[in-house]
Amino acid sequence: MKSAHAWIVTGLFLASAFTLARAGAAQDPDDVFRTQFLKALEGAQKPEQQKLVKQDPLLAELWIVRSAESVAEDPGSKDKAFYDALAEAWKGAWKCEFPERELKYLQGLDAAKKKTRAELFGRWKPALREFTGNLEKKDGMVFANLVDEVDALSGAFDSEGDLYHASEAYRTFAMCYDETLRGAAGDLHRAWIGYGHAIEMRDKLDLKDPVYDELTKRYAALGARGAGEKGGATPGAVEPKQDGPKNAPVPASVIPMTFDMLTSPDAITRPIYGCDEIYEMWNGLGLQIKGTVATFPTNTECPPIVRTGSSDLRFDTDGDKQGDEKIPMTGNIAPVRVPIGQGEKQRPWAFFAVSGTQQDSFQGIQVNLAPDDRQYQIYTLGAASMIGTFGTTSLRMVDDSLDGIYGNEPQRFGTQGMTDGEYEPWLDSIVVGSGKRARPWSGIQEIDGNFYRLEVQERGAKLAISPAGVDTGVLKLDFKGSIRPTYLVVVGSSELKDCYFDLVEGGAKGVRVPTGNYSLFYGELRKGKKKQMQKALILPPASNGPSWSVRKGETTTVTLGAPFVFDFRYEVNGSKLKVIGKSVVVLGSAGEHYERLWNCVSRPEIAWRKKGSRATLGDSKMPVADYSTIENKDLSWPAVWFPLDLEADTKDKGGGLEVQLVQKKHDLFGKVESPWKE
C-alpha cells in the first residue's frame, strides 16, 4: 500500500515536470491532450473541453503556459483561440485565475527579462531531467547533488516573477529532501520550507490544482510532526491522523506536571509574536546605574533584579536589595531559572535573557543597544514550561505571557507599532504530543482525536482533564495573499469564551472545533529568517469584527487576507494637507488589522483630488524614519514603526479633498490600495 504522500513520486509530478523538458516523441501525452482539446474546440464542445481539463489538469497547465507564451509574443498568434478556449475551460473546471495571471506575467516581460528567463531555462532543463531520471533509482547522492542548483533556480524564478516555474522548482527542492525519496537521510525541515514556498507561489498565481491540494496536505502533515523547526521531525516517523478519534476517550483524571526549562527560543514554535531571535522586540526590563533595582513587569512574584556591577546582575532573593543569585548574562540568548513565590507557593520559573550589542538593528536602523554605565536593558522571553503525560500522550504547558501562571486568560499590552486603541495579546500555549509546534492554550483541547476540558491546578503542578462531550464541526482557513499565516487563532464565545484554536494547524482540511460561534483573536505573518525576518501581527478590528458559526458535522470557511487596503487619518488646514503617519494601517478583506510591521514599514504614495473629481491634483510619497531623522527631528523610537507624517501643499484652498494611499508592492501584502477618503 502506498504511503500518505506517495503522490510525490507518481504521475502527479511527472505530468507537470516536463513543462520545460518536453520529449520529442510524436505521441507524447501532452500532444495527445492538445489534439483532443483542439478536436473538442473545432466541434464547439465546451463540456468536453472542460472535461478534458478536469481529467488532466497538469497537462492542461502545460499547454496554458505554452500557449500563453505564444500569445504574449504575438497577440495574433494562431494559438490565441486555443489559449482562450483552454483558459475558459480551466476557469470553469478549477475556479481560479491561473491562465490570466500567467499571460499577464508573460506580457510584461521586456527583452532583458526574456533573456534572463531563457538562461534560467537552460539550467532548469538539465536539472529537471536529472531529477526525473532518478525517481525510480532513488539514488540519494543524485538528489543531494541537485539541491543547491534547484535551490538557486527556485529563488531566481521567484525573483524574476515566474511563479509557475518557481513553484515547480521549490517543489523539486522539497522532494529532494523529503523522506519519500531520501528515506532516513531526508531533512524534513528543509522539505517543509520548500513545500511552503511552492504553495506560496501557487497562491500568488491562483493555481489551485491537485498538486496544490497535495502540497498543502504534505506541508500540514510535516508541520504537525514538528518539521517547522530544524530537527523537529524525524524521517520515517508515523504521521498523526486527523480524521476523528483514534481511541476511546480517556477517563477524567488529574495528572502531575513537572517543571521543564526550554533550551532555546525556537525549541518550540509558539503562537506569540515575539517568539524568535529578534530580541529587540522582546519584553524589556531596564536598569540604570550600579545599585539600581528593577522588578519583572509581568510577574510580581519574581525576585527583584539588582545591578551590582557594570556587567553583574543578580536576583534579590532575600529582599535586602543587595543582590544574591547571579544572572548569567553571557552576551548570547540564554535561559535563566529562578524560584518565584514564597513558602508553599514557591516554584521554579524561567525566561530567556540577553543584552544588546553595539551594532544592533532596529527596523533596519543600526543602533547601539549595548549596556553602559548609565543603563542596562535586559530583553526577556518566556522559557518556563510544565510537562506531563495523559494516557500515552505527552503534554507541555508554556508560560508565554511571562506571569508565572499557566493556562490563564491572555494578557494584552500596548506595545510599540500599534495604532491607537490596539493592544498586542500574549497567550500561553500547549504542545500536545511529541511535535515542536504549540497550540494556543484553550479550555477545551483535542487530544488523540477526542475533546477534553482542561483546568490548571496548584499553579501548574497538576492538570485536571475530563472528557468535554461536545459536538464538533470544522473551521477551515482560506487566506488570500502571497504570504500564508504562521498562526491564525480564533476564540469562541459564550460557554466557549476560554477556547482558542489555531486554524493553520488544520491545513487544507481545516480544524475540528466544538460547535458554536467564533471570532478572530490573533494571527501573524512571517517571511524570511533570523535577523532578515519580516513579520506582521494580525488582529480583529476594535468593533464589528468578523465572526463564524460552526454547526455539527459541517465545515465553515474563514476568509481573510487580500484585497489589502490602507486606513489612515489626515488633516487639512487651508491648502495644507497632513497625513498622520501613526494612523496608517493595513486592513484585510474582513476588516482585520495588520499591526507591528517589522522590517517592512509601509511606505505608501499619497494622491489627492477635489471631492467628486477624477483629476488628481498632486501626489507624494510618505517618508520613513532613519537614524538622522530620529536625531534631528526630535522623534522618539516608536516613530520608526510607521511612515512619518507627510505634509503637502495642495495649492487648493476651496472645496473638500479626497485622499488615497497606494503602495504598489509591499513585501508582505503585495499591492495595498485605499479607497479615496474624504
The Cα–Cα gap between 402 and 380 comes to: 9
> Which CATH entry fits the domain spanning 565-673: 3.30.110, 2.60.40, 1.10.3470, 3.30.160?
2.60.40
Q: Which helix (H) or strand (E) holds 125?
A: helix 111-133
Q: What is the pLDDT of residue 655?
A: 64
Q: What is the pLDDT of residue 242?
A: 43
Dig out the grid coordinates for 184 from the structure. 532516513
The Cα–Cα gap between 281 and 533 comes to: 12
Please, how many CA atoms are within 13 Å of residue 111, restricted to the half-sphere of its CB? Answer: 0
Q: In this model, does residue 351 exceed pLDDT 60?
A: yes
Task: Point out which residues pair with 334 in neighbouring strands.
Answer: 353
Sequence-ordered list of residues with C-beta below 8 angstroms from that of 4, at least 6 positions apart, any chain: 217, 221, 239
Report yes or no: 475 and 511 within 8 Å, Cβ to Cβ.
yes
> Which carries the bigger pLDDT value, residue 652 or residue 528?
528
Average pLDDT for residues 30-44, to the nearest whole number?
84
Q: What is the pLDDT of residue 634?
A: 65
User: In the CATH hierarchy, which top-level class contains the domain 470-561?
Assistant: mainly beta
Q: In this model, does residue 27 exceed pLDDT 80?
A: no
Indicate the pLDDT class of residue 375, thresholds 50, 70 and 90: very high
Q: What is the pLDDT of residue 140?
A: 86
pLDDT above 90: percentage of residues in the chain: 61
Burial class (CB in 10 A: 0-12, 13-18, 19+), 359: exposed
What is the three-class DSSP state of 467?
A: strand
CA dihedral over 475, 401, 594, 279, signed as positive or negative: negative
Q: What is the pLDDT of residue 16?
A: 35
Sequence-ordered list of residues with C-beta below 8 angstroms from that of 35, at least 6 positions apart, any chain: none
List C-alpha distances in Å: 547 to 517, 539, 541, 591: 7, 13, 11, 11
Q: In this model, does residue 95 exceed pLDDT 90?
A: no
DSSP state of 268: S
Report the length, in residues, of the chain: 678
Sequence-ordered list of residues with C-beta below 8 angstroms from that of 508, at least 6 positions apart, any chain: 213, 216, 217, 220, 476
What is the three-class DSSP state of 252?
A: coil
Q: In this model, does residue 320 exceed pLDDT 90?
A: no
Q: What is the pLDDT of residue 465?
A: 97
The lowest-confidence range among 32-46, 530-544, 600-614 is 32-46
Q: In this model, does residue 21 exceed pLDDT 70?
A: no
- Among the ranges 36-40, 219-223, 516-520, which has the highest mean pLDDT value? 516-520
Q: What is the pLDDT of residue 654?
A: 66
Q: Is the bond leading into 485 cis (omega within 30 degrees of zero)?
A: no
Q: What is the pLDDT of residue 57?
A: 87
Q: What is the pLDDT of residue 633?
A: 62
Instruction: Note the pLDDT tens digit of each residue in 483-511.
Output: 899 999 999 999 999 999 999 998 888 99
The Cα–Cα gap between 272 and 562 comes to: 23
Asked if the domains 470-561 and 565-673 are classified in one and the same CATH topology, the answer is yes
- Provide the greatest CA pair distance for the chain: 93
Q: What is the pLDDT of residue 331?
A: 83
Instruction: Note the pLDDT tens digit of each residue in 404-462.
Output: 999 999 999 989 999 999 999 999 999 999 888 999 999 999 999 999 999 999 999 99
Would strands 384-390 and 393-398 be described as parallel, antiparallel, or unpaired? Answer: antiparallel
Q: What is the pLDDT of residue 15?
A: 33
Indicate the pLDDT class of residue 5, thresholds 50, 70 and 90: very low
Q: What is the pLDDT of residue 4?
A: 33
Indicate the pLDDT class of residue 228, thresholds 50, 70 and 90: confident
The Cα–Cα gap between 167 and 674 comes to: 30
**Closest Cα partner for 301 from 247, 340, 348, 344?**
340
Gyration radius (Cα) of the chain, Å: 28
Dig out the grid coordinates for 315 from the structure. 536576583
Instruction: Note the pLDDT tens digit of each residue in 252-301.
Output: 999 999 999 998 898 899 999 999 989 999 999 999 999 999 999 899 99
The Cα–Cα gap between 152 and 146 comes to: 10
> Which carries the bigger pLDDT value, residue 211 or residue 398?
398
List C-alpha distances in Å: 435 to 95, 144, 169, 237: 35, 26, 28, 11
Q: Where are the alpha helices (DSSP H) in 161-285?
A: 163-177, 179-182, 188-205, 210-224
Predicted TM-score of the model (pTM): 0.66
Q: In this model, does residue 240 exceed pLDDT 80?
A: no
Instruction: Note the pLDDT tens digit of each residue in 62-83.
Output: 899 999 999 999 999 889 999 9
Indicate the pLDDT class of residue 14, thresholds 50, 70 and 90: very low
Task: Point out which residues pair with 609 in neighbouring strands.
Answer: 616, 658
CA dihedral over 477, 480, 486, 491, signed as positive or negative: negative
Q: What is the pLDDT of residue 45?
A: 83
Instruction: Note the pLDDT tens digit of each residue in 655-669.
Output: 688 999 999 999 999
**Closest Cα partner for 378 from 264, 277, 286, 275?**
286
Dig out the grid coordinates for 186 from the structure. 531526508
Domain range summary for the chain, segments of one domain joined by +: 6-224, 243-466, 470-561, 565-673
Indicate the pLDDT class of residue 630, thresholds 50, 70 and 90: confident
Report yes or no: 666 and 624 within 8 Å, Cβ to Cβ.
no
Q: In this model, does residue 18 exceed pLDDT 50?
A: no
Report yes or no: 165 and 184 within 8 Å, Cβ to Cβ.
no
Indicate the pLDDT class of residue 378, thresholds 50, 70 and 90: very high
Q: How far apart are the first and last CA of the chain?
A: 64
The Cα–Cα gap between 525 and 595 comes to: 10
Q: What is the pLDDT of residue 544?
A: 83
Q: What is the pLDDT of residue 509?
A: 87
Sequence-ordered list of residues with C-beta below 8 angstroms from that of 202, at least 6 positions apart, any chain: 163, 167, 208, 209, 211, 212, 215
Report yes or no: 356 and 366 within 8 Å, Cβ to Cβ.
no
Indicate the pLDDT class of residue 22, thresholds 50, 70 and 90: very low
The Cα–Cα gap between 66 and 78 comes to: 13
Looking up cell 499591526 gives 595
